[in-house]
Chain A
Amino acid sequence: MTAAIAERAAETLTPGQIIAKYQAQAPVDVVAIAGDLGINVWQMSSLPPNISGKIFRDQLNGGKSGFSIAVNARDVFVRQRFTVAHEIAHFILHRRLLEQGDLVDDAMYRSGLSTKEETAANRLAADILMPLLLIRGLMAGGISTPESLANKLQVSLPAMRIRLGLQT
């Protein structure tokens, strides 16, 4: 009964509230965020090396939304995490375009969408993985180098440096 109530409550949360729920501690659990949004996340070793990931309609193994995110199993952990966040961003920002077909992002996070949409997805992915409030908390706790922040939030060092407005 309690689980059903909790599930119903989760369904009524907005994407922003779902993301915020998982941004209280580092590292941000992107797979759990995707789960709450109704998307299942999988590793795929059959993806070509130049493809980082994709979001696609998956009647068989998809989540409640009917979508799945696949990441390249060969990619390193932090890159897989960014790919998941990037595809979540597409799901939130470009749902209407997703209805027209699957989105496959190459290694440079380019899909069939315009540069503007890809940039927006990258920006939201950075917001998801590296929330400024969490960074502030970590810095207050003594973690103040880009390396240690990147390690704590499980993102790549270049991503963290860009987030902090430093040169990569």
Chain B
Amino acid sequence: MGIFIVLIVLALVLGFFYEVELLPLGKTLNYDAFLTLMLTALGVMVALFTIFVGLAAIWGYAGFRDIVRDMAKREVAKAVTEKIKKYPDEARMFSILNRLEAQGELLDEAQNRIAESQPAPKVVETASIHQVQQTQGDAGAAPTPLDDIQQQVTPIEEYPGETKDKTNDSSDSGKGGGNSDPRSDNR
């Protein structure tokens, strides 16, 4: 582009010397020859400029793409770094990951053990022989008596000032129970 401007200026200067007949070339240059020369030069310049624009377009697309990509990488890296600062440090993340893995293993283990375990034994009537009751108790699957459970957890009191609905409350076992058998939902 610079060359193009320089050539234009040069042509104007030559045109000026021609007009005032001070051309120092030793030859006469009439107007037709000057015009031919200028138009030829202009044609060459336009051709060169067109090639230059074409090359610049090809280079510009690739270059622009690379520049945008680099800029995006820089911006994303900066934003990610800022975000990471707000999150727990690496050690803590590892501990969270380990805990999640442990929980996953636990679920697998639970499912495997349940799948491999024998079906729950059928409930047996209370036996008069002490050893039989003892054996059932040791199995670990015997239901916990309601009274024991109520002692283990804080009971739920009735809302103060509420009158209990007697019609629907025939099976209520009092505070904490709300209904007869806590295991009735397990059936």
Interface string of B2-23 (1 = CB under 8 A from A): 0000000000000000000000
**Could you tell me how many residues of chain B have their Cβ less than 8 Å away from some Cβ of chain A?**
45
Looking at chain A's contact residues, the main secondary structure is: mixed
Which residue of the partner chain, among B120, B154, B156, B181, contacts A71 with CB atoms under 8 Å?
B156
How distant is A5 from chain B, measured CB to nearest CB, in Å? 22
Which residue of the partner chain, among A31, A32, A132, A142, contacts B103 with CB atoms under 8 Å?
A132
In the complex, which residue of chain B has the Cβ closest to the Cβ of A151? B143
Q: Which residues of chain A in 1-24 are interfacial with respect to chain B, using CB atoms and an 8 Å cutoff?
A: none
A145 at the interface (CB under 8 A from B): yes
Q: Are A156 and B186 in contact (CB under 8 A)?
A: yes
B155 at the interface (CB under 8 A from A): yes
Contacts of A156 in B (CB 8 A): 185-186
Contacts of A30 in B (CB 8 A): 153
In the complex, which residue of chain A has the Cβ closest to the Cβ of B115? A166
Interface string of B128-148 (1 = CB under 8 A from A): 000000000000110110100
**Interface stretch of the complex, out of A37-45, A91-99, A104-112:** A37-45
Q: Are A152 and B156 in contact (CB under 8 A)?
A: no
Q: A147-B141, A148-B140 given as contacts; is B162 within 8 A of A44 (CB)?
A: yes
How distant is A167 from chain B, measured CB to nearest CB, in Å? 11
Q: Are B110 and A135 in contact (CB under 8 A)?
A: yes
Cross-chain pairs A/B with CB under 8 angstroms, 18 sampled:
A27-B149, A31-B155, A42-B156, A44-B159, A45-B165, A73-B169, A76-B182, A136-B110, A144-B114, A145-B114, A145-B117, A145-B120, A145-B141, A148-B120, A151-B143, A151-B183, A157-B187, A166-B114
B→A interface (CB under 8 Å): 103, 106-107, 109-111, 113-114, 117, 120, 140-141, 143-144, 146, 149, 152-160, 162-165, 168-169, 172, 175-187
